[in-house]
Amino acid sequence: MKKYTYFNRDLSWLSFNERVLMEASNERVPLMERIKFLSIFSSNLDEFYRVRMPVMLRNKQQDSQNSIYDQATEIISSQQDRFGKTLNEFIIPELRQAGIHFCYQEKIPENLFAQTTEYFYCQVAGLLQPVLLKEHSSFFLENDMLYILVIYKNEDEQEHLAVVNIPTDNLDRFVKFRLDGEDYVIFLDEIIKQNLKSLFPKAAHIESYNIKVNRDAELDLLDDEGPDMTEILERQLRKRKYGLPTRFLYEPGLPPHHLETIIDIFELRHASVLQGGKYHNSKDLASLPVKNQLHAYPEWPMIRKLGGIDQYTTLFDTMARQDLMVHAPYQTYDTILRFFNEAAIDPEVEEVYTTMYRVAHDSKIALALISAAKNGKKVVVLVELKARFDEANNIRWSKKMKAAGVRIVHSVNSIKVHAKLALVKRRHAEFPLLGLLATGNLNEGTARFYTDHILLTAHQPMLKEVKKLFRFLSKKKRPEITDKLSFHHLLVAQFNLQIKFLQLLDREIVNAKNGLKSGVTIKLNNLEEEVLINRLYEASNAGVKINLIVRSICRLVPGVAGQSENITVKRIVDRFLEHGRIFIFTNGGDHEVYMGSADWMNRNIYKRIEVSFPVYDEKLKKEIMQIVSMQWEDTLQAVRIDKDLKNVPLKVSQDGIRSQEAIYKLLSEMNS
């Protein structure tokens, strides 16, 4: 068997975060949006240390020759240097030009002392809990929280260590003050440091350094832990903030002997101990109190009209006549809310089923499902409690819906249900089943900035398969080989998804060898699973032209002789987060288009219930293909991934294409 090469998963993810950082220095991006990209980069990196770094640390400890950890650390260090340079040399000077004095790595101006001192005593002081470390050696640094390490001497010249919390869970990280016609933005950290003498009144000398710990955020869930997933998860979530430390950041200048003391006190020997910048949690930059539309993206009002829907017909009746497609966030998400709202009040609706992976904090969809249950309808909701970092919110909504009479189903511990589906069953209707199949979560919050596609259809054979899947998921069992569940229209992970995609690729290989039209265009968030990657390599070697748009992790190595000469990989980062998964197969000229929830990752293929679905409506199929074509032709926000995992900018002609803007204009014209 031919031996192929693959990028490392974690290094590929760091390449994606590098692409995010590139937007922070992109002069075409408005100032405030560039600051947000710095925030996203920092937030991504924190998650990397909570989730990926624990695995890399364990691998390094088991194999001292393993170099991935060292490579990742070197890459992160280089990216952090670029972060600091971007902020200091570009962002802060531009803020000054805009009349905003951002006090970054500088002392609070003396002429602001009166205002900052008043703010400290009126807003901050009562939230501080200084801890003397020698007296309280059992004190615990919580995950991702900010602290100040205080080193002080009393009159007897004895040195003491203390930790003071920075209460960003109750106060904004940045405080804006106005003086002499200019805005000053000050770190909460600096306001506390300015007033440390009030916390340690007997101190003759005080030094202070910012510190922070990231901890392992993985939850330890096993199938034999019992049936009550809610109770198990709530116990695990309480433990999450006390997970094993993976990274300790400290401000430059901390004396080495005190660093050693801190490492011992907080048991940080197995963590990455890194000298960071002066400030940590740069993800807070997203909340910088600077509101100026001139420095933000120009508004793109959401397209409110969707072709085929009018004020005289219900959405359900419209769906019975034709398939509909909503492209979020370009088009209004109200159509999706209307689907659930009509289900709640329509007297002909008997049953409502849906999956919910990440429930919106103030979910209108969940409220509609509650109303449907109270209105006497059978409502079954599969809430995936194990959606990482959304567990607590999903538990809250599960309890609320269950109390209202909704039947709540949770998946078994070892598998996640990531499919995005909803189904309504009506009595006395020509088309009794109406459904919704999506590429993204049924979440009106994230729908404002995630690009996704939602199909609304009355295709009865496909929806019967959706109902069959809901019936199976309601049994709360892991799929087994003995399960006789067959699907003709849907591609369902654990059943036929991987097999069908391999068959579709094989058909393109045969067509290429026979001189027929062939080609594959795939848009994903992540491409990792080796069986499918190998088939893409085989298709490339057979002469199939393959275009891949992969936002984040991509283990496939493009442009390698004898392996991937016919494969090109691009990555798009812009104002909206690219999230939709789309699969286009040329099929001799009779194109087949699939969409769905599944990335091509090990977890999606082997450990989740995912659903991809065909687009049968010719008009909608052409619409999707046109959108993907615009993304492929993007020259302004797309980069090419080369065989060294570098983000290579594309050559920009005078008429450069920005795909998200082009898609917005296309959909605006289509629905005008």
102, 150, 162, 205 from 159: Cα distances, Å: 34, 10, 10, 9
Start-to-end Cα distance in the chain: 55
Strand, helix or coil for residue 114: helix
Catalytic residue, from 418, 453, 459, 591: name it: 418
> Residue 289: what are its φ and ψ, rounded to 5°?
-75, 65
Q: Half-sphere exposure of residue 488, counting CA atoms within 13 Å on the CB side?
A: 6
CA 68 to chain centroid: 23
E strands along 544-666, which residues? 546-550, 567-572, 577-578, 581-585, 592-596, 608-609, 611-614, 638-641, 647-649
Do the annotations mark residue 579 as ligand-binding?
yes
**337: its two tokens:** 């809310």
Do the annotations mark residue 44 as ligand-binding?
yes
Q: Report the DSSP pairing between strands 611-614 and 638-641.
A: unpaired
**Class of residue 555 by CB neighbours under 10 A (exposed 0-12, middle 13-18, buried 19+):** buried
Q: How far apart are CA 455 and CA 453, in angstroms?
A: 7
Strand, helix or coil for residue 372: helix
Q: How far apart are CA 112 and CA 123, in angstroms?
A: 16
**613: its two tokens:** 């679905």
The CB-based long-range contact list for 402-405 (8 Å cut-off, 24+ gap) reads 404/370, 404/373, 404/374, 405/373, 405/374, 405/379
Residue 295 annotated as catalytic:
no
Other CB atoms within a 10 A radius of the CB of residue 252 amount to 10
Let me know: does 574 contact 658? Beta carbons within 8 Å: yes
490, 501, 507, 603 from 417: Cα distances, Å: 15, 20, 29, 11
Strand, helix or coil for residue 384: coil
The CB-based long-range contact list for 256-263 (8 Å cut-off, 24+ gap) reads 258/149, 258/151, 258/161, 261/161, 262/149, 262/161, 262/211
Closest C-alpha among 28, 72, 30 to residue 52? 72
Do the annotations mark residue 591 as ligand-binding?
no
Closest C-alpha among 423, 489, 504 to residue 456? 423
Do the annotations mark residue 388 as ligand-binding?
yes
**Class of residue 201 by CB neighbours under 10 A (exposed 0-12, middle 13-18, buried 19+):** exposed
Q: How far apart are CA 630 and CA 616, in angstroms?
A: 21
The CB-based long-range contact list for 386-391 (8 Å cut-off, 24+ gap) reads 386/219, 386/221, 386/233, 386/411, 386/413, 386/416, 387/357, 387/358, 387/416, 388/51, 388/217, 389/217, 390/358, 390/359, 391/219, 391/233, 391/237
User: DSSP characters for 228-292?
Assistant: -HHHHHHHHHHHHTTSPEEEEEE-TT--HHHHHHHHHHTT-TTSEEEE--SS--GGGGGG-S---
Q: How far apart are CA 466 and CA 481, in angstroms?
A: 20
Q: Report the DSSP pairing between strands 421-426 and 647-649.
A: unpaired
Let me know: does 367 contact 395? Beta carbons within 8 Å: no
30, 88, 89, 102, 437 from 95: Cα distances, Å: 11, 11, 11, 7, 44
Known binding residues for Mg(2+): 358, 388
Known binding residues for ATP: 44, 450, 551, 579
Q: List, by residue number, the catalytic residues.
A: 418
